[in-house]
């Protein structure tokens, strides 16, 4: 029997719904996918509930129609500047007399770590486990090993209650359950950076329309995630203000002529705003367009650099920096990023086996949701049938994606 699962990303410019079929053999087939322009959201936050809900619902309806099935549960991506991450740590001493670590020791450490409640009015969105230390050594699965103390940590993201409820509401209005909330940056980085890259250490930056999400992996585990409320829309806004043109024209100029770095060969080149020489059309130097964009992009990466202060060690990030998301399509953005971050930067590519029409940077998050959802994130030694994730986890090896945590 195959299982149908869904994934929804409520993005600032587009709402995306994806339906996947997990076949008994364990492979995931995307059987339905739909995208709708979302006008109810700005900078990663819902500002107009009805519009956002309409966009998500019609995307879901289309995806269901395309797949010929219905979904009951979806994984939902979470982003927005209201999300804050912090490291929670817990430890436990090994309880058994022979100093053999048991699953319950791990469980106690985990409970201690998660005991810390978020501030009033905030809820945890996502706990991401970081390595388990047994007497100071990193171990994959300590159960059965000899030691005296277990340490583990969770990179925990909490967010504003209201904002999270609103996103959940969008889904429940469509009579669907949200199976799990998954941080957008984690979803897209799961998709774009394979296990080997994550072990080598990598930074994945997902440049969306409203926000830029990033996740930093070290030694295979998440070390930091963040959301910068600056995205492609800001480029449009800056162009509209800097060139004093209407926003739709700014958007058009950005897509057609936008570049992150100025090419001196183009000095003196002009482009027309509208292009049909109607009244009000003006020629604008290419340099002006590039200048506006360049400053913004440099600033964006400077902020990321500042957020990750101390973590951008080239020796720990042998996997380099991967860019994805719709705004990463801007020509020249990798060069700018590389200059600012001082690391090698490239555009992320999808693993093989993803249909080419799906393999667009803007789909990284929604595709990643499915794959992250299919992974097993439970503690080692925990009985697999405890959790829902466990039920699916038997497929994960066969899916062949991202298996280790």
Partner 1 sequence: MLDSLANSEKWLVFVPKIEKYKPNNAFTTMSQESLFPKETSFSLPNDLSGIRAKVIGVGGAGISLVDGLRFDNFESVENLAVDVDNRALSDSIAGEKLSFGRRHTRGMGTGGEHTVAQKAMEEEKDVIRKKLDGVDIVFLLAGLGGGTGGGATPVIARLARDAGAIVFAFVPLPFSWEKGRHKMAEGRLSELRKIANAVVPLPNDSLLQMGGNDATALECFAEAGRYVSKGISAICSMVFCRGMIDVDFVHISKAFNRRAGRTLFGYGQGDGKDALRQAVRELLICPMLHLPNVSKAADVLLIQITGGTGMGMAALQQVSTEIREEFNAGEHVVFGAHVDENMGDRVQITVLGATDLEAGTKVVDVAPIASDIISVIPKSKVAHPSKLKQKKGNSITNENGKKHSSKNNDKLDQNTFSFMDAENQRGIFGDLPSRNIYAGEDLDVPSYLRRGVKIGI
Instruction: Please list, residue by residue across 155-178, b when 16 or more beta carbons sit within 10 angstroms of its beta carbon and e when fewer do.
Output: bbbbbbeebbebbeebbeebebeb
Pattern 173-212, binding to partner 1, x per CB under 8 A?
----------------------------------------
Q: Among residues 133 and 284, whose Cβ is nearest to partner 1?
A: 284
| Residues in 254-283 at the binding interface with partner 1, rule: CB under 8 A | 278-281
Residue 188: strand pairing partners: none
For the bound state, the minimum distance from the C-beta of residue 248 to partner 1, rounded and expressed in Å, comes to 6
From 10, 15, 12, select the one nearest 229 (Cα to Cα).
12
User: Of these, 295, 355, 358, 403, which contacts partner 1 (CB under 8 A)?
Assistant: 295
Stretch that binds partner 1, among 63-71, 101-109, 185-193, 288-296 (CB under 8 A): 288-296
393 interacts with partner 1 by CB under 8 A: no
For the bound state, the minimum distance from the C-beta of residue 20 to partner 1, rounded and expressed in Å, comes to 31
Pattern 228-247, binding to partner 1, x per CB under 8 A?
xxx--xx-xxx-xxxxx-xx
Stretch that binds partner 1, among 115-123, 158-166, 287-295, 397-405 (CB under 8 A): 287-295
Cα distance between the two ends of the chain: 26
For the bound state, the minimum distance from the C-beta of residue 242 to partner 1, rounded and expressed in Å, comes to 5
304 interacts with partner 1 by CB under 8 A: no
Q: Among residues 242 and 400, whose Cβ is nearest to partner 1?
A: 242
296 interacts with partner 1 by CB under 8 A: yes
73 interacts with partner 1 by CB under 8 A: no
User: Of these, 194, 285, 332, 351, which contacts partner 1 (CB under 8 A)?
Assistant: 285
Q: Among residues 237 and 331, whose Cβ is nearest to partner 1?
A: 237
Q: Alpha carbon of 380 to those of 132, 133, 181, 384: distances in Å?
A: 10, 13, 22, 9
User: Of these, 4, 27, 39, 131, which contacts partner 1 (CB under 8 A)?
Assistant: 39
Exposed, middle or buried: residue 327 (CB in 10 Å: 0-12, 13-18, 19+)? buried
Contacts 24+ apart (CB under 8 A), 396-400: 396/26, 397/26, 398/25, 398/26, 398/27, 399/22, 399/26, 399/27, 399/28, 399/371, 399/374
User: What is the C-alpha to C-alpha distance for residues 321 and 347, in angstroms, rounded to an integer?
Assistant: 8
53 interacts with partner 1 by CB under 8 A: no
Q: What are phi and psi of 117, to 5 degrees?
A: -85, 150
For the bound state, the minimum distance from the C-beta of residue 237 to partner 1, rounded and expressed in Å, comes to 4
Q: Among residues 204 and 243, whose Cβ is nearest to partner 1?
A: 243
Q: What does DSSP say about strands 345-347 and 321-324: parallel, antiparallel, or unpaired?
A: parallel
From 38, 136, 114, select the one nearest 79 (Cα to Cα).
38
From 3, 55, 52, select the one nearest 31 (Cα to Cα).
3
- For residue 145, give every residue at least 6 positions away whose Cβ sits within 8 Å of its Cβ, in sequence order, or none: 100, 101, 134, 139
List interacting residues with partner 1 (CB under 8 A): 37, 39, 42-43, 47-48, 81, 228-230, 233-234, 236-238, 240-244, 246-248, 278-281, 284-285, 287-288, 291-292, 295-296, 298-299, 303, 306
């Amino acid at each position: 029997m195959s299982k149908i699962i869904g994934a929804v990303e409520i993005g600032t410019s587009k709402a995306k719904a994806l339906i996947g079929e997990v076949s008994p053999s364990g492979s995931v087939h995307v059987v339905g996918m739909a995208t709708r322009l979302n006008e109810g959201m700005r900078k990663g936050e819902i500002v107009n509930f009805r519009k956002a809900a309409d966009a998500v619902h019609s995307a879901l309806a289309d995806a269901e129609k395309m797949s010929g099935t219905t979904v009951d549960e979806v994984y939902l991506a979470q982003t927005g500047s209201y999300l804050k991450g912090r490291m929670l740590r817990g430890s436990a001493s090994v309880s058994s007399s022979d100093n053999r670590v048991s699953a319950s020791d791990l469980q106690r450490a985990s409970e201690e770590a998660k005991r810390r409640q978020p501030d009033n009015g905030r809820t945890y969105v996502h706990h991401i486990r970081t390595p388990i230390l047994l007497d100071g050594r990193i171990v994959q699965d300590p159960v059965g090993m000899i030691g005296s103390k277990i340490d583990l940590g969770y990179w925990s993201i909490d967010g504003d209650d209201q904002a999270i409820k609103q996103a959940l509401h969008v889904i429940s209005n469509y009579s669907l359950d949200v199976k799990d909330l998954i941080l957008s940056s984690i979803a897209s980085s799961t998709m774009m950076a394979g296990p080997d890259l994550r072990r080598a250490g990598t930074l994945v930056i997902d440049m969306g329309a409203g926000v830029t999400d990033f996740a930093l992996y070290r030694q295979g585990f998440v070390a930091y995630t963040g959301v910068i409320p600056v995205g492609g829309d800001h480029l449009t806004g800056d162009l509209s203000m800097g060139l004093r043109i209407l926003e739709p024209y700014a958007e058009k100029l950005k897509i057609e002529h936008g570049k992150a770095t100025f090419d001196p060969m183009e000095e003196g080149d002009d482009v027309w705003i509208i292009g049909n020489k109607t009244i009000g059309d003006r020629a604008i130097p290419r340099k002006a367009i590039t200048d506006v964009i360049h400053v913004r992009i440099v600033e964006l990466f400077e902020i990321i650099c500042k957020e990750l202060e101390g973590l951008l060690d080239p020796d720990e990030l042998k996997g380099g920096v991967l860019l994805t998301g719709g705004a990463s399509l801007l020509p020249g953005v990798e060069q700018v990023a590389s200059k600012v971050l001082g690391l090698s930067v490239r555009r992320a590519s999808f693993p093989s086996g993803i249909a080419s029409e799906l393999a667009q940077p803007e789909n990284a998050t929604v595709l990643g949701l499915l794959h992250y959802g299919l992974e097993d994130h439970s503690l080692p030694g925990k009985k697999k049938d405890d959790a829902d994730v466990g039920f699916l986890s038997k497929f994960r090896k066969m899916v062949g994606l991202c298996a280790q945590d």
